[in-house]
Amino acid sequence: MDLHTLQIYHQKTEQNSQERLETASDLLRCGLECMADAQAEGFADRALLAEACEYLMEALRLNHRETEAYIGMGYLLWLLGDHTGAMPYLQAALEFDPENSDAKTLMQLVCKTERPVTLPPPVFTTELAQPNFDALYDQVELQILAAIQQVSTLPPQTFEVSNLRVKMTQMERKYRELVTLQGELQAQIQAVEVEIDCSELQKMLRPLDILLARAQDFLNQSWALVQLEETIAEHSQWLTLQISVFDSLNGEISDSFSQAHFDALLEDCDALADLLDEYDGLGIDVASLIDHYEKMTDKVTYIQDCLDQI
């Protein structure tokens, strides 16, 4: 990969970064508008709060330095009664903007009002032990709000594309936990749907559904990056071995050298370069992989020069 190609990569990265910041700003505005609409209705529409949560979470994913989004999430969680979940977002806002008066004021308010969310026990009527579906609907609604609060307190870096196996193990563990939670909530909704339309509950659950779909995409992309890195490492190891043999024989070809293997590796180099270009175009940080790729291609060039001299 030559200097010109690297310059193109850097230009694309800068462009993608700017686009992500602009999108994050738009999502923040949508989230704040949803919160304003909810406030105008006296916060009676829980679906609007869930929608605001969805916008703010996505804004933070795209720009983890978006102070107003942290404040918005802190305010939203406080409204829902989760003062413990609100604090990390307000603290994060103050880390990026220590003099932010809104964050300071809200933090003082949160510290003074402790309103933890508690879920009521299942409600049944005494007559024939039949379930009170209205009460069960309210209970499932509270369970969904608690789940959305749990999701909203996850650090923005919980799910992101990575080529580190340790990071992927952590992502997969949290992903499985949330999939289990999603299944339990869906089972609760299906039980209530026997008597009551639960379309609003499904809308409230959308932030969790969207997060899981995004997490699955991140995991798939991460596995692809791991395989890409391992392929580069495998090629580099073989090339290193061949170079050591060439050097020990003063540039002569060893019987162990396979021209077919080398030709296949050359074709792989082009495919790997295309993949790196594709991931970089998606805004995925592949700087470390590019570095490994360049070191591998340096070895390819060295061997090719040796072959040309024979």
Range in 47-56, 106-115, 153-162, 219-228 with the lowest mean pLDDT? 106-115
- The pLDDT value recorded for residue 16 is 57
Highest mean pLDDT among 24-33, 59-68, 70-79: 24-33
Whether the predicted pLDDT of 229 surpasses 70: yes
Cα–Cα dist 66/71, whole Å:
9
Boundary (domain end) residue, out of 59, 94, 116: 116
Both structure tokens of 284 = 């995925």
Which structural domain range is residue 49 located in? 20-116
In a domain, 198, yes or no: no
In a domain, 233, yes or no: yes
Contact present, 35 and 76 (Cβ < 8 Å): yes
CATH of the domain at 42: 1.25.40.10
144-147: long-range pairs with CB below 8 Å, 24+: 144/50, 144/185, 144/201, 144/204, 144/205, 145/46, 145/50, 145/80, 145/117, 145/204, 146/117, 146/119, 147/181, 147/185, 147/205, 147/208
Chain position carrying tokens 């990265």: 13
Give the number of other CB atoms < 10 A from CB of residue 175. 19
Please give the share of the chain, as a percent, with pLDDT higher than 90.
2
Unique residue bearing structure tokens 């805004």: 283
Q: Is the predicted pLDDT of residue 6 greater than 80, yes or no?
A: no
Tokens of 214: 């995004």
| Residues in a beta bridge with 131 | 124
- Cβ atoms of residues 198 and 242 within 8 Å: no
Asked if residue 122 belongs to a domain, the reply is no
Q: For residue 35, how far is the Cα from the chain centroid?
A: 24
With contact defined as beta carbons under 8 Å apart, do 100 and 94 qualify? yes
pLDDT at 124 over 50: no
**What SS3 class is residue 196?**
coil
Residues 161 and 286: their CA atoms lie apart, in Å, by: 10
In this structure, what token pair is assigned to residue 57?
Answer: 């979470």
- Is 12 a member of any domain? no
Residue 146, domain member (yes or no) = no
Residue 210 pLDDT > 80, yes or no?
yes
Would you say 19 and 37 are in contact if contact means Cβ atoms under 8 Å apart? no
User: Does a structural domain hold residue 141?
Assistant: no
Domain-terminating residue out of 62, 97, 116: 116
Picking from 62, 173, 190, 97, the residue whose alpha carbon sits closest to that of residue 137 is 190
Q: Which of 56, 86, 116 is the last residue of a domain?
A: 116
The answer to whether the CB of 290 falls within 8 A of the CB of 273 is: no
pLDDT of residue 296: 92
Task: Indicate the number of domains in the chain.
Answer: 2
Q: Rounded distance, CA 154 to CA 31, Å?
A: 18
How far apart are the C-alpha atoms of 171 and 168, rounded to whole Å?
5
Q: Which residues pair with 124 in a beta bridge?
A: 131
Residue 87 lies in a domain: yes
- Of 144, 153, 213, the residue nearest 181 (C-alpha): 144
243 is a domain residue: yes
Q: What angle do CA 223, 166, 220 make, to 5 degrees?
A: 20
For residues 50 and 113, give the distance between their C-alpha atoms in angstroms, rounded to a whole number: 22
Q: What angle do CA 134, 140, 144 make, to 5 degrees?
A: 145
pLDDT at 122 over 60: no
**pLDDT(11) > 60:** no
CA atoms lying within 13 Å on the CB side of residue 106: 27
